[in-house]
Amino acid sequence: MHVVVGSGNPVKRRAVESVVARAWTVEGVSVPSDVAEQPRGHEETRTGAENRARAAYATSDDPESRLGVGIEGGVARVEGCSGLFLVNWAAATDGDRLSRATGPSFPLPDHVARRVGGGEELGPVMDDELGESDVKKRQGAAGVFTAGMVDRTASLSTGVAAALGPFVSEQYR
Binding site for ligand ITT (CB under 6 A): 7-9, 12, 37-38, 72-73, 86, 121-123, 126, 135-136, 140-142, 152
Gap between the Cα atoms of 28 and 132, Å rounded: 24
Parallel, antiparallel, or unpaired for β 106-107 and 98-102? Answer: unpaired
Gap between the Cα atoms of 36 and 100, Å rounded: 19
> In whole angstroms, how close is the CB of 7 to ligand ITT at the nearest point?
3
Question: Which C-beta is closer to ligand ITT: that of 149 or that of 172?
Answer: 149
Residue at shortest CB range from ligand ITT? 123
Question: Which C-beta is closer to ligand ITT: that of 33 or that of 99?
Answer: 33
Gap between the Cα atoms of 159 and 161, Å rounded: 5
Question: Which C-beta is closer to ligand ITT: that of 7 or that of 102?
Answer: 7
Question: Which C-beta is closer to ligand ITT: that of 17 or that of 72?
Answer: 72
| Burial readout 140-157 (b: 16 or more C-beta within 10 A, e: otherwise) | bbbbbbbeeebbbbbbbb
Gap between the Cα atoms of 158 and 15, Å rounded: 8
CB atoms closer than 10 angstroms to residue 67: 26
> In whole angstroms, how close is the CB of 124 to ligand ITT at the nearest point?
7
> In whole angstroms, how close is the CB of 4 to ligand ITT at the nearest point?
13
**Integer-rounded Cα radius of gyration of the chain:** 16
**Whose CA is closest to 105, among 146, 139, 52?**
146
> In whole angstroms, how close is the CB of 97 to ligand ITT at the nearest point?
22
Question: Which C-beta is closer to ligand ITT: that of 66 or that of 152?
Answer: 152
> In whole angstroms, how close is the CB of 131 to ligand ITT at the nearest point?
14
